[in-house]
């Protein structure tokens, strides 16, 4: 990021002595995250994972837009609200693996009541079929 900033500043001044850095798509993506151009959608089930990722985002100064599959979002709803992070949750599906065990049906409602963004989703064909009946 520093190399690109130095190169761009030199170009603005008309200084062609600095060669453009080699492109690296992975690092350019990370640069987009750090510059706020790319929003992060994080896959987390557990409350401790969400809290840790929020702390990491503060340390490196980037924003998390949403946690997907956030079955324990209700446990950190106040932290989600304070940090303007959405919880993308299932309406009625959990317990299918260890990290998806501790959900409550009120998950989205509790997140919403705390003032955070709650979104219902499903990525399971059976769940989608049930909702369409």
For residue 68, give the CATH number of its domain.
Answer: 3.40.50
| pLDDT tens digits, 83-95 | 999 999 988 878 8
Residues 113, 126, single domain; the answer is yes
Q: Which of 42, 43, 32, 46 lies closest to 101, judged by CA?
A: 46
Domain that holds residue 119: 39-132
Residues 62, 102, single domain; the answer is yes
Q: Give start and end residues of each alpha helix (H) in 35-114.
A: 47-60, 77-82, 107-113
Helix (H, G, I), strand (E, B) or coil at 28: helix
pLDDT of 128: 52
Residues 78, 121, single domain; the answer is yes
Residues 127, 68, single domain; the answer is yes
For the cut 60, the answer to whether the pLDDT of residue 74 exceeds it is: yes
Residues 75, 90, single domain; the answer is yes
Residues 25, 81, single domain; the answer is no
Number of domains in the chain: 2
The percent of residues above 90 in pLDDT, for the chain, comes to: 63
Helix (H, G, I), strand (E, B) or coil at 31: helix
């Amino acid at each position: 990021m520093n190399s690109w900033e130095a190169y761009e500043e030199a170009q603005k001044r008309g200084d062609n002595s600095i060669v453009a850095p080699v492109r690296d798509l992975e690092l350019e993506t990370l640069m987009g995250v750090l510059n706020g151009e790319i929003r992060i959608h994080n896959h987390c089930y557990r409350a401790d994972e969400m809290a840790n990722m929020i702390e990491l985002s503060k340390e490196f100064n980037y924003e998390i837009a949403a946690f997907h599959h956030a079955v324990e979002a209700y446990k950190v709803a106040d932290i989600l609200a304070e940090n303007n992070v959405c919880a993308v949750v299932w309406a009625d599906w959990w317990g299918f693996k260890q990290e998806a065990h501790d959900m409550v049906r009120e998950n989205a409602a509790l997140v919403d009541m705390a003032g955070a963004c709650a979104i219902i989703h499903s990525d399971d064909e059976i769940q989608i079929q049930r909702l369409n009946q």
